[in-house]
Amino acid sequence: MATAAGVGAGAATAAARIPTAAIAAGAAAGGLAGGYGIARWTKKRPLGGIALAAAGAVAAREWQRTGGTKAAVGLSAAYVAAFAGSHPLAKKIGAWPAVFTVAGAVAATSWAVTSWAATRRGGE
């Protein structure tokens, strides 16, 4: 039977299961792009750094939970390297293209590692 919102009970359960790979990849990409956006639009770099660190912490928690310590350390290092690498890349291709490039690379790497770890465990 449909609920008042027109969604069956099964659909609500399915919607609640967001793959861990998507959460981690989204947090990592969102932290890089969001941190830069906040820093640029507010002209307060520390605010961008807070967003970058908070999203990185969310992603690292998911990386640890899904892939273990080695995956979390490696992907956290990739996250920090992407942040650092976006600066010289921005001089070559522009700020936003550089941010989106490194965010996409980290998200793709995160997705690959966490998806592989989940399937290895027989999970998601």
Q: How far apart are CA 53 and CA 124, in angstroms?
A: 27
Average pLDDT (86-109) is 97
**The pTM is what?**
0.79
**Helix 20-42 × helix 45-67 angle, to 10°:** 170
**1 pLDDT tier (thresholds 50, 70, 90):** very low
Q: What is the pLDDT of residues 38-83, one digit of tens each?
A: 999 999 999 999 999 999 999 999 999 988 899 999 999 999 999 9
CA 49 to chain centre: 15
> Do 104 and 25 form a contact (C-beta atoms < 8 A)?
no
> Residue 37: what pLDDT?
97
Average pLDDT (92-114) is 96
